[in-house]
Amino acid sequence: MSHLLLAETAPIHAPSVAYSSLSPIFIVLGAALVGVLVEALVPRAERYAVQMVVTIGGLTAALVAVGLLHNTAETTVAGALAVDGAGLFIQGSVLVLSVMSVLLIAERSVDVGSAIVASAAVVVGSPTDRRLARTDRVQTEVFPLLLFAVAGMLIFPISNNLLLMFVALEVLSLPLYLMAGLSRRRRLLSQEAALKYFLLGAFASAFFLYGLALLYGYANSVDLPAILNASKASPKSDVLLYVGLALLLVGLLFKAGIAPFHSWTPDVYQGSPTPVTAFMSSCTKIAAFGAIMRVLYVGFNATAWNWRPIVWAVAIASMAVGGIFGLTQTDLKRVLAYSSIAHAGFILVGLVALDKDGIASVLFYVLTYGFSTMAAFGVLMLVRDADGEATHLAQWSGLARKSPFVAAVMTVLLLSMAGIPLTSGFIAKFYVFKAAFHVAAPLVVIALIFSAVAAFYYLRIVVLMFFAEPPENGPTIAIPGWSTAVALTFGMVVTVVLGIFPQPILDLAAKAATLVG
Amino acid sequence: MHNPALVILVLIPLVGALAVFSLKQEQAKLAKLISLAVSLIVVVYTGALGIAYDVGSQADRFQFRGEWTWIKVFNVQIAVGVDGIALVLVAMSVVLVPAVILASWNAFDSRSGAEEVVLPGAKQRSVKNYFALLLLLEFFMIGVFVATDVFLFYVFFEAMLVPMYFIIGSFGGPRRQYAAMKFFLYSLVGGLLMLASVIGLYVTTGSHSFSITYLIAHPMPDNATQKWLFLGFFIAFAIKAPLVPFHTWLPDAGAEAPAGGAALLVGVLDKVGTFGFLRYCLPLFPAASRYFAPTILILAVIGILYAAFLAIGQRDMKRLVAYTSVAHFGFIGLGIFAFTTQGGTGAVLYMVNHGLSTGALFIVVGLLIARGKSRNVDDYGGAAKVTPILAGLFLLTGLSALALPGMSTFVSEFLVLVGTFTRHKGLAVLATTGIVLAAIYVLYLYQRTFQGPVRESVAKFRDLNAREVFAVAPLIALIIFLGVYPKPVLDVINPAVKATLHDVHQTDPVPQLGTAGGVK
């Protein structure tokens, strides 16, 4: 009771805000608001071009701001936000990859209009819906939606305050739920994906909130450093701490698509418009890993002995689910979804290390994986038949005969995901395994075995593309517009260059491997 | 140490491969000419290096060393250098490549239809890609032998799978998809186990170095960790070699790969496994090598006998040759893990000879199959009367495979057996029976295909043309030359093998090669 009385009487001090350190977030949010105004004020014919300029301009400006902040290491807003190396690296990665996503979303030449439906609220199968599918009308709300999601992703990994982290989680999730339902083709699947993602996501958020409440009960604070101090000093029972952490992790693991909280991933990846899937599989994952890393490293560093086995278990579960269930898939988007689950497991292996090397390796991994997966989804957009994208495996057989170039690009990306040397995927895998080896050698060996399992389904796609005969009436390869071509080329070049000359980015990741508490 | 000699050697085939890849589909002829020219340039260049190599040098284990920082965070270097073992293996590999290119000159031209088993879609195969892949493979093959940084070696070791995978998968026989996949996955699993050991080595040595010279100079303490790390490397190399019981991928891959690809697969790629034993397993994990040696020797002898019996029973000629190789790898393994100078030197010479002789055998078998369009022995008979030149070359390569005295293979097999006998008498005796079995499978194969009444299908066979003779003849000439006068090669190999045995703390129970008399 006395607390409450005190709170009523004590004056409230507004915390100081380091506006410059948070400028990337403000820039992206500002661009998003401008985007909303554009929707309201600019004539329909010009909206597309204007939105492109606003979105890409905003993201690029934010990226520049992140670059200018590179030496920052401070907490601000009363310790709720920590602008530090790791946070900025994650922010930079999210921004670069979101620019690529925007380029993929902006693709207008492979499908009538774009991959995004003109009006998502129309009843599926109604005459209006069928008419909409044929028009080249595009709706451009997706750009501000994406910007809001990106803003959430920028706050999420730098939150040292769990309540703020929860807000960021919601800010990034809500636009994503909507974007999942925007597919122009296969509307029903897309709406199912959106609803499923929303329901399960809301559920996961509730877990997060519950965990947060328990942690507040334990530490009397929702700041991560305060929780750390409480766990170091406290003679009281740890039950609240660990139950709280467990529930918190449910929410976080869900967002990162880690088994056993992965079941939404294949359905949502399959149903969402492919460029949006590319965005989710790279940017959301990166942001979520940034947050997981911060929670575990800043808030629970002292209690690592207790949570490490759990991370081991979910890492193994994730690699097993991703590797084994991936083998049975026949749809390429689902294959890539399971691949992303398996990769989440590999990234967790790096997290187990709990040192600077661990942070740097995770940073490098999420970035390189983001590029590969983004480009792979980009390639998926190009292989089409009359019904839209031809994502069934059988439709990909003999693809190399039709377009050796597209098949070669896909092969490089798949080899990178399989971790074959001379691609970025190998360097990334090597780095996380090296970082984790001294604390978790058996886990590394298990991870290597599952890399071999996962390699099987990547190779199966290569076998199909190169060694099998093309089917009658197979899909055609669309000629991409400039924006997709740029995004694809960039993803592919980065994948190869970081496989051969990874030094600059490795240096950057090593330099960025600091988390301030 | 920034000697660029070896880096240039590695890069020549890469540049060639990129040039051939960039050609147009219709420029097949040009692709072949460029590939041949590049492969010959590599041969000449390697010859020059061989002349420049200082045989008597005591100063440094590796020569032509070049070291440049690659990935500083991991302390990884682009470090290259050759000792005697690596030098002769590089030489063997580069000699095999032009032979393979010549032998598969028309193999994928739809016009001549010379592809061994005609497949639907065979017309669409890209001829220039085949030759570009061969050169790309040569790039990785040379790289894997000259790398003196464990990380760099691993990169070449794994990346090498990719061109071979495409050679088997795109240009192979009817079950090529299966064979390519099996080949890749077996090797990948081995490679990943090795990666675990590579990381383990890096972390546990504490020095965080991948340099071989450093690791050899600072061997690990004898403990359980060393045994685990050894096993990671060993299994990877045993799959690659392949040693029984890790051999099951080779008959499939060898049978389904196009003849030229099979020659390189068995002739060179598999040597990487046995090379790995000598370069990595023995010097880096001396105690574990001694600990596991008895088991490995027994596996090697089982391999010699078991694979020889399987070879006798094969009707598919390429599978037969693949099984003979498994038996031969048993001999190489025996020589290496017997820990004697003769055994080790014999094993290295065996690798060279086996590369040349099996490479040649795959090529002549391929030439025969190209005529009969069948891999089945039963479809042939009496070919010697129709194609005397092919029969002669076939017999000569076959005799080299069964290690007839006068052929270089005899020298190496003899050295391996003598070297083994001085330490493990029983095993040497058992292994010697393998020679008898070798005579059976080679002569039985020759008898069924070339002797006897001329079959109707065989009567129309065309004998070898000059190009085909030129593909095989140099290999056979080399085999006979080394059979009569192996000294220059032995002189190069011997110091390197001695150094390796020194690393495992083993001395010969009997006197060294070339010295007379003496007691234990």
pLDDT in tens, B215-254: 888 878 878 889 999 999 999 999 998 888 899 999 999 9
Written as one letter, the residue type at B37 is A
Measured between beta carbons, the chain A residues lying within 8 angstroms of B185 are 452, 455-456, 459
Distance CA(A241)–CA(A231), nearest Å, equals 8
Task: State the nearest Cα–Cα gap between B170 and chain A, in angstroms.
Answer: 6
Q: A437 touching B, CB under 8 A?
A: yes
Measured between beta carbons, the chain A residues lying within 8 angstroms of B68 are none
Which token pair is A183?
């597919």
Q: Do A463 and B170 touch (CB under 8 A)?
A: no
User: Residue A420 is nearest to which of B162, B181, B189, comparing CB atoms?
Assistant: B162
Q: Do B159 and A420 touch (CB under 8 A)?
A: yes
Distance CA(A442)–CA(B318), nearest Å, equals 40
Distance CA(B411)–CA(B338), nearest Å, equals 17
Locate the chain B residue with the closest alpha carbon to A456: B185
Q: Do B199 and A430 touch (CB under 8 A)?
A: yes
Q: A468 touching B, CB under 8 A?
A: yes
Q: Do B192 and A507 touch (CB under 8 A)?
A: no
Predicted local distance difference test score (pLDDT) of residue A135: 76
Q: Do A463 and B169 touch (CB under 8 A)?
A: yes
Judge if the upstream peptide bond of residue B245 is cis by omega within 30 degrees of 0. yes
Q: Do B199 and A434 touch (CB under 8 A)?
A: yes
> Does B169 fall in a domain?
yes
Task: State the nearest Cα–Cα gap between A67 and chain B, in angstroms.
Answer: 22
Residue range(s) defining the domain that contains residue B95: 5-503
What phi, psi does A477 have (nearest 5°)? -100, 120
Q: Do A467 and B196 touch (CB under 8 A)?
A: no
What ipTM is given for this predicted complex? 0.91
Measured between beta carbons, the chain A residues lying within 8 angstroms of B177 are 463, 467-468
Percent of chain B residues past pLDDT 90, beyond the cut: 70
Q: Which of A413, A467, A498, A503 to mutate to test the interface with B (most CBs of B within 10 A)?
A: A467
Which token pair is B296?
């490995």
What is the H or E stretch that residue B81 is in?
strand B76-82
Q: Do A503 and B120 touch (CB under 8 A)?
A: no
Can you tell me the mean pLDDT for B356-374? 91
Locate the chain A residue with the closest alpha carbon to B129: A404
Percent of chain B residues past pLDDT 70, beyond the cut: 94
Regarding predicted confidence, which is higher, B356 or B244? B356
Locate the chain A residue with the closest alpha carbon to B72: A503
Predicted local distance difference test score (pLDDT) of residue A116: 84
> Does B364 fall in a domain?
yes
Measured between beta carbons, the chain A residues lying within 8 angstroms of B202 are 434
Number of Cα atoms under 13 Å in the Cβ half of residue B369: 29
> Does B516 fall in a domain?
no
Measured between beta carbons, the chain A residues lying within 8 angstroms of B189 are 449, 452
> Does B515 fall in a domain?
no
> Does B519 fall in a domain?
no
Q: A502 touching B, CB under 8 A?
A: yes
Comparing C-alpha atoms, which of B285, B203, B205 is closest to residue B237? B285
Locate the chain A residue with the closest alpha carbon to B232: A445
> Does B408 fall in a domain?
yes
Number of neighbours of residue A77 by Cβ within 10 angstroms: 18
Q: Do B71 and A456 touch (CB under 8 A)?
A: no
CA distances (Å), origin B407, targets A273, B122, B484 = 67, 38, 7
Q: Do B121 and A469 touch (CB under 8 A)?
A: yes
What is the H or E stretch that residue A477 is in?
strand A476-477
Q: How many domains does chain B have?
A: 1
**Tens digits of pLDDT across chain A (517 residues):** 445 555 556 677 788 888 999 999 999 999 999 999 999 999 988 899 999 999 999 999 999 999 999 888 889 888 899 999 999 999 999 999 999 999 999 988 877 767 888 777 788 878 888 777 777 777 788 999 999 999 999 999 999 999 999 999 999 999 999 999 998 888 889 999 999 999 999 999 999 999 999 999 999 999 999 999 998 886 777 889 999 999 999 999 999 999 899 999 999 999 999 999 999 999 999 999 999 999 999 999 888 888 999 999 999 999 999 999 999 999 999 999 999 999 999 999 999 988 899 999 999 999 999 999 999 999 999 998 888 888 899 899 888 888 888 999 999 999 999 999 999 999 999 999 999 998 999 999 999 999 999 999 899 999 999 988 888 888 888 888 899 999 999 999 999 999 999 999 999 999 999 888 7
Q: B161 touching A, CB under 8 A?
A: yes
Residue A40 burial by Cβ neighbours in a 10 Å radius (0-12, 13-18, 19+): exposed
Measured between beta carbons, the chain A residues lying within 8 angstroms of B176 are 467
Task: State the nearest Cα–Cα gap between B134 and chain A, in angstroms.
Answer: 17
Predicted local distance difference test score (pLDDT) of residue A234: 65
Give the sign of the dihedral formed by CA B182, CA B187, CA B190, CA B191.
Answer: negative
Distance CA(A148)–CA(A144), nearest Å, equals 6
Q: A510 touching B, CB under 8 A?
A: yes
Measured between beta carbons, the chain B residues lying within 8 angstroms of A443 are none
Question: What is the tens place of the pLDDT at every residue in B399-448?
Answer: 999 899 999 999 999 999 999 999 899 999 999 999 999 999 999 999 99
Can you tell me the mean pLDDT for B308-318? 93
Q: B163 touching A, CB under 8 A?
A: no
Which token pair is A375?
């480009």
Q: A460 touching B, CB under 8 A?
A: yes
Note the pTM of the prediction, 2 decimals.
0.93
User: Residue A467 is nearest to which of B72, B177, B188, comparing CB atoms?
Assistant: B177
**Residue A194 CA to its chain's centroid (Å):** 16
Question: What is the tens place of the pLDDT at every residue in B459-486?
Answer: 888 888 899 999 999 999 999 999 999 9
Q: Which of A327, A361, A414, A430 to mutate to test the interface with B (most CBs of B within 10 A)?
A: A430
Q: Do A466 and B170 touch (CB under 8 A)?
A: yes
Measured between beta carbons, the chain B residues lying within 8 angstroms of A445 are 193, 196
Task: State the nearest Cα–Cα gap between B147 and chain A, in angstroms.
Answer: 15
Quick check: helix, strand or coil at residue B509?
Answer: coil
Predicted local distance difference test score (pLDDT) of residue B173: 85
Measured between beta carbons, the chain A residues lying within 8 angstroms of B158 are 420-421, 426
Give the sign of the dihedral formed by CA A248, CA A250, CA A255, CA A258.
Answer: positive
Predicted local distance difference test score (pLDDT) of residue B520: 38
Which token pair is A122?
């129309």
What is the H or E stretch that residue A474 is in?
none
What angle, 0 to 180 degrees and rounded to 10, lies between the N-to-C axes of helices B5-21 and B28-52? 180
CA distances (Å), origin A214, targets A227, A232, A291, A322 = 11, 17, 19, 32
Measured between beta carbons, the chain B residues lying within 8 angstroms of A404 are 126
How many contacts does A have with B, using Cβ atoms within 8 A?
89
Measured between beta carbons, the chain A residues lying within 8 angstroms of B170 are 466-467
Whether A278 and A101 have beta carbons less than 8 Å apart is answered as yes
Whether B209 and B191 have beta carbons less than 8 Å apart is answered as no
How big is chain B by its Cα radius of gyration, in Å?
Answer: 22
User: Residue B196 is nearest to which of A420, A444, A459, comparing CB atoms?
Assistant: A444
Q: Do B185 and A467 touch (CB under 8 A)?
A: no
Measured between beta carbons, the chain B residues lying within 8 angstroms of A431 are 73-74
Q: B214 touching A, CB under 8 A?
A: no
- A305-342 burial: b if 16+ Cβ within 10 Å, else e: eebbeebbebbbbbbbbbbebbeebeebbbbbbbbbbb
Distance CA(A205)–CA(B478), nearest Å, equals 73
User: Residue A421 is nearest to which of B155, B177, B199, comparing CB atoms?
Assistant: B155
Q: Do A463 and B181 touch (CB under 8 A)?
A: yes
> Does B303 fall in a domain?
yes
User: Residue B71 is nearest to which of A463, A466, A502, comparing CB atoms?
Assistant: A502
Q: A448 touching B, CB under 8 A?
A: yes
Q: B155 touching A, CB under 8 A?
A: yes
What phi, psi does A93 have (nearest 5°)? -60, -45
Q: B159 touching A, CB under 8 A?
A: yes
Q: Do A507 and B73 touch (CB under 8 A)?
A: yes
Whether B105 and B83 have beta carbons less than 8 Å apart is answered as no
> Does B51 fall in a domain?
yes
User: Residue A466 is nearest to which of B72, B74, B166, comparing CB atoms?
Assistant: B166
